[in-house]
Chains A and B, each alone.
Chain A
């Protein structure tokens, strides 16, 4: 498949380690945030979301942290696996109408070394 990002910042980790991917968002009014995973040749895939009234949310092997004071999101992946290798994007939006557009960050490439 095609690479989705040849010049993205890259995080390289060993299989089994924990990964932390960071994102700065732009709009202080945004109240809903999503992390997407994009594998080569595919569209973005939903991983986990968080609303602005929370500062932490956990899923299966993933945790999202939200710091509204500094407009910062992070995605933590526990026990990183080779299948986690992909480009990760954060996205922000407003929940008011349920139909708002997403604003994406610039992305981080995660490479998992076996």
Chain B
């Protein structure tokens, strides 16, 4: 069973450009959350999708948007990139109904390293 997968692994963009990151959740999971992890810091919650809708959102501007597809995979889009958007972007999947060792356990992917020049 594949865990959470993310693509691409690394990405380099310039200021003002737009970027799309992709995530496939763990099998059986219907909820996808996105986190931004700046160097030297803990991950910060961006937003969460399930049933193809954004359900929760952290303190991020509208330049950050997303989508969830019927197969539960998800995309994170960032417009008008700033230097400060350089970070590791993590996707986590979960499902309260999927069982597992712990309630609300979120399984993280390896992340996409975005560098904005």
Contacts and interface: CB of A to CB of B under 8 A. Distances in A.
A2 B104 CA distance: 28
Interface string A56-98: 0000000000000000000000000000000001010101011
Given A46-B102, A98-B96, A4 B44 contact: no
B45 A2 contact: no
B106 A102 contact: yes
A106 B94 contact: no
A105 B42 contact: yes
B69 to A, nearest CB: 18
The size class of the interface chain A forms with chain B is 20 to 34
A29 interface: no
Contact of A103 (B45, B50, B55, B103): B45
B108 A43 contact: yes
Interface in B6-54: 31, 33, 35, 37, 39-45, 48, 50
A41 interface: yes
Contacts of A103: 45
A14 interface: no
Interface of A: 2-8, 32, 34, 36, 41-46, 49, 89, 91, 93, 95, 97-107
Nearest to B43: A104
Q: Which of A44, A46, A93, A107 has the most CB of B within 10 A?
A: A44
A6 to B, nearest CB: 5
Contacts of A91: 42
B40 A5 contact: yes
A45 B113 contact: no
B81 interface: no
A95 B104 contact: yes
Given A99-B94, A100-B104, A7 B40 contact: yes
A89 B104 CA distance: 17
B78 interface: no
